Amino acid sequence: MAEALEPALPPEIDSLAERVLREACDRNLTLATAESCTGGLLASLLTDLPGVSHAFERGFVVYTPEAKHEMLGVPQTIIDNDGVVSERCARAMAEGAIANSKADVAVSITGFAEGGPGQPAGLVHFACARHGSPTLHRKETFGDVGRAEVRLEALRVGLELLRRQIAPPTGAA
């Protein structure tokens, strides 16, 4: 049985998504996502809010190393040397989403929703790229809290990073 979002999406995540989209609309910015362990959940959320979803430009669901390389241009050397759950991969994914879309801001999420050999459960790397700004990175270790909980927390963090990149630079109006 699939456990994508059981329980349902918490209201605070829904509210945060709406704020991100409103702020993007207010600044005439478009958004993209590059998702692995969330499997497109963030893209789905960003297209589900009426009146503001037009800020979303596209999403990339890149679950395999091959998809990350082929669709986003993540260098094979990063995949081979750092792994697909790493800071360098997350940054390359976000920057690849910008390069392969018309979006102004892109967030990437790559991690382990469940544990395995050499795969600590709940380890997730995030990056958020914006034209003309440094790419942000964040690493979270949510722990072995279950697949659904890791994915929900990943949505929250991804939205927080988007919000940071959408905000005007310090000192700007």
Residue 34 lies in a domain: yes
Asked if the structure places residue 47 within a domain, the reply is: yes
For the chain, the farthest-separated pair of C-alpha atoms sits apart, in whole angstroms, at 50
Q: Would you say residue 46 lies in a domain?
A: yes
CA distance 80 to 34: 19
* Of 157, 168, 166, 167, the residue nearest 42 (C-alpha): 157
pLDDT for res 116: 87
- Is the pTM higher than 0.85? The answer reads yes
Please give the pLDDT value at position 118.
Answer: 87
- pLDDT at res. 5: 52
Residues 6+ apart with CB under 8 A from 30: 24, 55, 56, 57, 102, 103, 104, 105
Is position 3 within any domain? no
In 3D space, the residue among 127, 126, 131, 70 whose CA is nearest the CA of residue 98 turns out to be 131
Q: Is residue 27 part of a domain?
A: yes
Average pLDDT over residues 64-70: 98
pLDDT in the model for residue 173: 45
**pLDDT digits over 33-47, tens only?**
999 999 999 999 999
Residue 67 has pLDDT above 60, yes or no: yes
- pLDDT for 72-130, tens place per residue? 999 999 999 999 999 999 999 999 999 999 999 999 999 999 988 889 999 999 999 99
Helices marked H in the chain = 11-26, 41-46, 65-72, 76-81, 87-99, 147-166
Give how many domains the chain has, as a whole number.
Answer: 1
Please report, for the domain that includes residue 84, its CATH number. 3.90.950.20
Q: Quick one: pLDDT at residue 13?
A: 94
In a domain, 40, yes or no: yes
Range of the domain at 34: 11-166
Instruction: Say yes or no to pLDDT of 170 above 90.
Output: no
Domain assignment of residue 38, yes or no: yes
The dihedral built from the CA positions of residue 160, 97, 91 and 71, taken in this order, carries a sign that is: positive
Q: What count of Cα atoms within 13 Å lies in the side-chain half-sphere of residue 40?
A: 9
Say which residue the tokens 């993540």 belong to.
74
Q: What percent of the chain has pLDDT over 70?
A: 92
Which residues does 165 contact at the CB level (< 8 Å), separation at least 6?
105, 107, 128, 129, 130, 133, 136
pLDDT at 162: 98
- pLDDT band of 7, cuts 50, 70, 90: low
Residue 70 has pLDDT above 60, yes or no: yes
Tell me, yes or no, whether 120 lies in a domain. yes
